[in-house]
């Protein structure tokens, strides 16, 4: 099991703009430009990016079931599809930390809806940056042989993999070690956290799904990749 602490992200000056313009469906007006600039430093100062991940050997995939040599089991048509042909999987959890949730809640309680939307867009974009950073680290470790490659990543709660499977992922990778826990609805606390799986194996055997969105019916989703 490996943990990454004090992660330094390469943050663009206009972090959050692309996501906001997607949400708004238009270019930002002057007041929003000012708020984006003002809130960006507040959000960036509040993050404490951390990650934890671990490697597991896949015993077999049978129908919707993925059996690990650790005696753990995933159940879902899409996670089994993505891990079919993989020899190993790396399970991960990453987070921006508690402070982000706190400052967004404070803004929301203060009744500033626009500022809350902007801070949510900035921190969602920061979480995506952290995901790319952690993904690169994981792929470097997961590709154990020359002819190996990695699958796309998939997370509990995504289409046709129930959120309840979070409890299995958190049993296999201890999120508490980076301050992440599950609430009664299997949602992660802090809220700005992500968990998931990458599969690894011979390039000609592993699943070729490009990205989770390709398996998802939500055509008009603003997060669609
Ligand atoms: S389309 Fe949206 S909901 Fe579906 S997997 Fe992609 S980001 Fe997630």
Model pLDDT for residues 84-129, shown as the tens digit of each residue: 999 999 999 999 999 999 999 999 999 999 999 999 999 999 999 9
Distance of alpha carbon 148 from alpha carbon 72, whole angstroms: 24
Q: How confident is the model at residue 23 (pLDDT cuts 50, 70, 90)?
A: confident
pTM beyond cutoff 0.75: yes
| Candidate from 156, 158, 161, 163 with most ligand 1 atoms within 8 A of CB, to mutate | 158
- Is position 34 within any domain? yes
Average pLDDT, the chain: 95
- Is position 220 within any domain? no
**Residue 10: helix, strand or coil by DSSP?**
coil
Q: In angstroms, what is the span from residue 220 Cα to ligand 1's centroid?
A: 9
Quote the domain boundaries for residue 124: 2-215
Q: Which atom of ligand 1 is nearest to the CA of 225?
A: 6
Q: Could you give the number of structural domains in the chain? A: 1
- What's the CATH number where 84 sits? 3.40.109.40
Q: Give me the torsion for CA of 210, 185, 52, 138, rounded to 10°.
A: -10
Instruction: Give the mean pLDDT of 31-60.
Output: 96
- Is position 222 within any domain? no
- Is position 225 within any domain? no
Residue 145 confidence (pLDDT) above 90? no
Q: Which atom of ligand 1 is nearest to the CA of 222?
A: 2
- Is position 195 within any domain? yes
Instruction: Give the mean pLDDT of 144-157.
Output: 94
Residue 120 token pair? 């949510």
Give the closest residue (by CA) to ligand 1 atom 6: 213
Distance of alpha carbon 120 from alpha carbon 46, whole angstroms: 13
- Is position 137 within any domain? yes
């Amino acid at each position: 099991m490996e943990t990454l602490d004090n992660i330094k992200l390469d943050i663009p000056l206009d972090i959050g703009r692309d996501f906001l313009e997607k949400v708004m469906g238009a270019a930002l007006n002057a007041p929003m430009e000012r708020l984006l600039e003002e809130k960006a430093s507040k959000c960036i100062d509040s993050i404490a990016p951390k990650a934890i991940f671990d490697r597991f050997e896949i015993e077999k995939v049978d129908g919707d079931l993925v059996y690990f040599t650790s005696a753990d089991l995933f159940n879902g048509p899409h996670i089994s599809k993505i891990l079919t042909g993989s020899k190993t999987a790396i399970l991960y959890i990453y987070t921006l930390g508690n402070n982000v949730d706190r400052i967004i809640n404070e803004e929301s309680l203060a009744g500033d809806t626009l500022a809350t939307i902007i801070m949510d867009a900035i921190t969602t974009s920061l979480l995506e940056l952290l995901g790319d950073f952690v993904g690169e680290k994981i792929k470097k470790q997961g590709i154990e042989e020359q002819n190996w490659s990695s699958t796309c990543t998939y997370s509990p709660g995504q289409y046709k993999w129930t959120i309840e499977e979070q409890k299995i992922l958190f049993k296999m990778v201890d999120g508490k070690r980076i301050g992440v826990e599950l609430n009664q609805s299997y949602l992660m606390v802090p809220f700005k956290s992500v968990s998931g799986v990458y599969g690894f194996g011979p390039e000609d055997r592993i699943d070729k799904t490009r990205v989770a969105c390709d398996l998802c019916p939500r055509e008009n989703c603003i997060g669609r990749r």
